[in-house]
Structure formats: structure tokens, C-alpha cells
Chain A
Amino acid sequence: MAEAGRRVLVVSTDPAHSLGDALARRLGPRPARVPTRAGRLDAVELDADRALARWLARRRPALRLIAERGTYLDDEDLEALFRLSLPGVDELVGLVELARLSRAGHYDHVVVDTAPTGHTLRLLAMPETVQRIAGVLDHMYAKHRFLAERLGGQYRPDASDAVIAEMEREGRDLQVRLRDPRRATFDWVLLPELLAVAEAKDGVRQLDRWSMAVREVLVNRVLPPAPDGCALCAARRRGEQTAIRAIRRTFPGRALRFLPALPREPRGVPALRAFARALAAPSRGAALVRPHPADRRQRAAATPRPPAGPPAWLPVVAPPGVRLVLFAGKGGVGKTTCAAAAALALAEAAPERRVLLLSTDPAHSLGDALGTPLGDEAAPLAGAPPGLRARELDAEREFRRRRERYRTAVDELFDTVRGGSAFDAAFDRAVVQDLIELAPPGLDELVAVLSVTEALLGRDGQPPAYDTVVVDTAPTGHTVRLLALPAAGLAWVRTLLAILLKYRRVMRPGRLAEDLVALSRELRQLDRLLHDRRATRVVAVTRPGELPRRETRRLLDRLQQLGLPVAAVIVNTVPPPGLPACRRCRAAGREARAEADRAVGRGRVVLLAPMVAPPPRGVRALGHFARTWAAASAGGAPAPRRPAARRSRRPGAARGSARVVGPE
């Protein structure tokens, strides 16, 4: 667009940014010029925390005033509350910041690279949340207005009213703009895989429901017909054709466009320019999906049958006594498939162990991967060991369930303000109930943490229902957010406890305090568990390729910063060696092994999971798949056997933990 002479801003709102990797330049929260032949192109990677801080800095006095006049809280309490970090700020701030950036730079177009499905849908629902927050603040301030009117006769709106009005207006504007097809269009990008089709179906349906215009569905990384008559590529092509037929059925009458899988991912401006030509081709890539004689080629040699019995990698990923195994990684690398396969292997190897396979990605794929519908109730799987249960967490439902409990606890709290001015308490009660009504930003991560806690530590004095929880997380950015949440949540709980303690002579802390004390204990336990390398294992899943490699490296660094034990890196979809394969497959295989070498060289355990065409679906296929993962080793040395004695002796030792399980 920029080279057609327009002024364009491209923004990434995914907390795990890849935009800079794609453009091959360092990007930050300030627009950076990208050199183009014509027009103007600026690029930004949003920093939500910074954006929120900037937004708050200017409005802080007004917001403070609202809180001060609208509640019982004093300076000290408010200071403590304002210091807390918001866990789910990315979605909340993302859109508002987008609006600000596009206003500031006089752009003709703003192109947004969003986070993966689940959180993008959350982002698009935010204008309503902004309006509702404005509503809560308005409620808070109503007390002041009421008093001022009664005492002074006439109320004149002040700076605080202006902030409330601004938020209300901004929320409404965004809502209108997103629904106006002349001002906002959506392009849905997906891979030619059945899991992605199911996710896209739900996502596009949701956008339709919100009357947001999905202009085009882009099917990316479609394999061109196999060169050298490669059997593996032919099988993959057939799998993709099945998915593409499903896409055509799912989106009848919608514009589809097919983009080729390039031998090398388009990185940097020249490569992206070439890719853009394919993007603009009037044929919409139709030739790419036309059946080709090479597609019929059958596999010459069957893949060797994997050995029976528990896979050799199991003690690395899920050693005896492990309680929490988290699968993390970029979208589309096969996290769900790997998590499901690992949970099955674990349950088979230890039938007495009660294992919960939990998907916390708001755009669930777990049921699709297992080939069986799943819901919010943990359910056994046909054909799987009886100790295994699977659940797709419904964050909103779970939140509603917990909200009821807090609502009654808050009611009790206000009932204990006896003999006081009924008028004051009525206002405060309304404000607090409003706050509880408001689903917090970062809801998915919050509820995920609470659910994992409940599954592993029990609740209300009940013993825990599971020995081990295997989590299929949302893609990178939100996994990191999830893992940082127990600490952030603890800060919130403690601040609230301190406030309740302070006012306990006026209001009986009661059940709310009891719940908060329990929550505080649970979060502490969970935080301890997360940093205990005997109890918690994080597995990073990636695939051969430049962008996933870079994102994975950042993920591993971040995990190390958070002091979380990384068990292994799984490089997924590696063309198996030894098969007669084409240039493309051999190159991908070489790249995967080179990458594995580097990681192993850094002391990490790397598992290579083979490319399977079509991808493994269902309990049987996944169980089989899990047994085909093999440890990669540096320079052809034997696969690393992880000696138990090499495990860290100090469970709390956080830094450098990824190194400990590596080979000598």
C-alpha cells in the first residue's frame, strides 16, 4: 500500500511481537520509518504497559479524585491500588493506543497485526469494556455530584467528569469505527489445516455477529506441487486439499485467497515486496490449489513403527512427581497436538496417575485435535486411559461462577456497616458491585490460574482432584502473561487484604477476607510450585523457520527471567530423515537439525517431532505420534540421557535452570 503512494502505519498488537522479525528491523513503541520506494511506511510494536502508563499519567489526578470522592478509601489505599499492575492490559490498551497512533501520524491506512484468535476477539470486545469502566467511574463520582448539588446548589462538571466523558466517547467511537466497513476491514489468515479451519470458523462467526466486516480469508503457506515427485510433500498436499475443501465449505461466497509456502520465509522489505505481489495477484492463487499429478504419489517407504512402551522422552518432559506441564509456543506450531500427545503418553505410562489435559487458549483446538467435542466439564476420552480427563476452559462461565461467590461476600461486607449513613454505604455498594460485574482484562489468564490451582491444590478444604495437569496454553505472549500472573495476582490480593484489615473496625471483613486469605495462600503455593523444577515443566514447541525460531528464543529468555524450569524444546514438523524426499523437505530437515544442534549446544534438551501428513488427529493417532519424538543431539553424539543426579539440588534455583537437564 505504501509503495502505491499512501501513508501507512503497520502496528503489531500481539504481546509476542513478530513484526520486527518479519521486517528485519528493530521496532518499538514509537513509529519507525521503514524505507520504501514510494509513499510512507511506519511500523510500531505496541508496548501495552508503557501505553497504559502514559495514558494514566495524564489522567491520574482526575481518576484519583474520582476514587477519593467516590469511595471510603484514603490517599494511602489509593496509592497502593494505583501502583498495582494490570495483568491483561494488552487488549485494554491496544485499541485505544491504536486510535491515538493513527490520529497522531495522519495516515491513510493503519494495518494491524493482531495476536492469535482468542485474544484478538478479546481485543475487539474492548470498546464495550472501556465504556463500562467509564460507567463504573461515573457511578463512583455520582456520590460527589449528589453531595455537591445538595450543598452548593448547582453542580459544575470538572476535570474528572471530562475524563469519564472522554473514555465513554472513545469507547463508543471505536465501537462504531470497527463496525463501519468503509473504515475497518478484517482479513482472516489461516493455515490449510483442519484445526485452523475450526478455529477460523468460530472466529469469523463471532466477527459476523459483531457486524465486523471480514473482507477476505487468506490461506497462507499452501504447499506448491511437490518437486522431484516427493511422497511426503504429496501426502501433505493431499492433507491441505482436504482442509481447503473444508475452508470452501465453511466460507461459502466469501473471497478466498491462497498464498504459497515459500522456500524461505519472507523476511525483510525486498522479500515482503515479492510476497505482496502474490498477495495482490488477481488469480487469488487459484493455481496453487489446483490438483497436480504429483499429488497422487504414494509414500514409497513406510515410516518405521515406533517402539512400544513409554517413550524415552517422558522422564524429561514429565518425570515422576511432576504436577504441572505447560506447552508454550507461537501460534500454529502444533502446541495443542504436542500437549495432547504428551498427556496421552503420560497417562498410559502411569495409569494410576490422575491427569487433567487443560486447554486455556480462548480459541480452543483441543477437542478438534482429539477428534471429540470437549467442554468446560472435564471429561474422560474414549480409547484413552481412564485416569485422563480433558477440558476446554470456558473462562467466562468459570468467572461467572466465581463472581456469584464474591457478590454475596461483598453484600455481607456492606451489611456489616451497621448504623452508618445508609446513603454512603449504598453508593459504595453499587460501585463495588459494578466492579465485580466488570470482567477484568486478562480474564482468561486469571481464570486459567485459578483453575490450575484448584485442580492441583484443591479448594475449600477439598483434596485436589488431579495429580498432574498438562496445559495447552494460548500462544506465546499470553502464556508469558499467564505465568507472570500468580505474582501479580498476589499483589492485588494483598493490597485488598491490607485495606480490609485497616477498616475492620468499621466493616467486618467476614467471608470476603476469608476468601482472600485462602486465595493468597493458594497463589503462594502455586507460585512456589511453578518455580519448583521437580513439580513444573515448561515445554516450548516450535517448527523449523526463521520467525518461529526468533520467537522461541525470546520465549526461552523470558521463561528464564521468570525463573521457570524449561524441560525441553520440541521442534515439530521435521521431515523425517532417511525417506526419499525432495529438495524442500531435505532443506527443512537440515534447518531443523541445525537449529536443534544450536539449542542442544546451549545445553537444552531438544526433541524432534516428525512431520506427519495428514497431521495426527484423535486419541490413537496422537498416542502413536508421541512415540515418534526423538531427542536431538549435538554433532551426532548419542541422545542425551538425563541423569537424575544432574537435576538442580536447590528447587528454588531459578537462573540458568534450562541448562541443568542438558548433556555434558
Chain B
Amino acid sequence: MIILDTLLIGGLRFVLGKIATAVESEMEDDSALREELLAAQMRLELGEISEAEYAELERSLLNRISEIRSRTRGPTPKPGTFKVTGVEATFAGEQPPDEEAEAGPRRR
């Protein structure tokens, strides 16, 4: 039964895919937390939670988001151990242009 196989494999791949995404998002970025925040907003609109509960949730989520942000930026590099190798375009959106030269090597 070709169709059953496709469905089974499809389903398995689906679950694995979901697990992978879940792990990925919790480890590496704040998108899961952002989703939580959006879900909290949705709950508030639906009247499932009160304004106070929402405010509480929002504060804790925003805290965790900023925590993750500071963590992903990594430890501050020791001065003098890097040399400037060039400016990369990938940073253009994140910092004002005049900081680019300085920011570039930080992630090396």
C-alpha cells in the first residue's frame, strides 16, 4: 500500500520535524518565547486571561527574551586578541553603520 507508507512516513517525519524545531527554537533563539508572548496576547483578546495575568506573563517573557539576547551575543572578547579582518554586510541591519567595524570581529 503505497498510500499507507506515504502517510506513515509522512507522519513520522512530521513528528521528528516538530521535535527538531522545538529543540532548535528553545536552544538557539527567542522565537519560541515570542510565540508565547503572541499566544498570551491572543488569550488576553479572548478573555482567557486577565489584564493583570497578561502583564505578569509579558514581563517574565520579556525578561527571558532579553536574557537569551545577551547570552547569544556571547561572552565579551578579551581586548587585543582580535584583529580587524573586514566589515561584513550581514551586520548591517543590526547596528548603526559607525559601529560595524568594531562589532565585526566580536563574533569571530
Contact = CB atoms under 8 A, between A and B. Distances in A.
Interface of A: 150-151, 418-423, 493-494, 497-498, 500-501, 504-506, 508-510, 513-514, 516-517, 520-521
Contact of B46 (A150, A423, A498, A521): A498
Contacts of A506: 18
A498 B21 CA distance: 23
Nearest to B9: A421
Contacts of A516: 42, 45
Interface string B1-35: 00100110011011111101100000000000001
A510 B16 CA distance: 21
B38 interface: yes
B38 A509 contact: yes
Given A150-B3, A423-B6, A497-B45, 8 more contacts: A418-B21, A419-B18, A494-B45, A498-B46, A501-B42, A504-B39, A517-B41, A521-B45
B39 A421 contact: no
Nearest to A418: B17
Contact of B39 (A419, A422, A494, A509): A509
A497 B35 contact: no
Contact of A504 (B35, B41, B45): B35
Contact of B11 (A421, A513, A520): A421
B42 A509 contact: yes
A504 B21 CA distance: 13
A513 B21 contact: no
A517 B45 contact: yes
Contacts of B35: 504, 508-509
B10 A421 contact: yes
B46 to A, nearest CB: 6
Interface of B: 3, 6-7, 10-11, 13-18, 20-21, 35, 38-39, 41-43, 45-46
B14 to A, nearest CB: 4
Among B15, B38, B45, max chain A CB count under 10 A is at B45
Contact of A151 (B3, B13, B42, B45): B3
Contacts of A497: 42, 45-46
Nearest to A509: B38
Contacts of A505: 18
B25 to A, nearest CB: 10
A422 B21 CA distance: 17
A521 B45 CA distance: 7
B38 A514 contact: yes
Contacts of A504: 35, 39
A59 to B, nearest CB: 30
Contact of A421 (B7, B42, B46): B7
Contacts of A521: 45
Contact of B42 (A422, A423, A500): A500
A570 to B, nearest CB: 39
18 contacts: A418-B17, A418-B18, A419-B16, A420-B10, A422-B10, A423-B10, A493-B45, A497-B42, A501-B39, A501-B42, A504-B39, A510-B38, A513-B38, A514-B38, A516-B42, A517-B38, A517-B42, A520-B45
B55 to A, nearest CB: 15
Contacts of A517: 38, 41-42, 45
A150 B5 CA distance: 13
A494 B42 CA distance: 9
Contact of A494 (B3, B16, B21, B46): B46
A326 to B, nearest CB: 26
Nearest to B15: A419
6 smallest CB-CB distances across A and B, nearest first, come from A419-B17, A421-B10, A520-B45, A420-B14, A419-B14, A517-B41
Contacts of B18: 418-419, 505-506
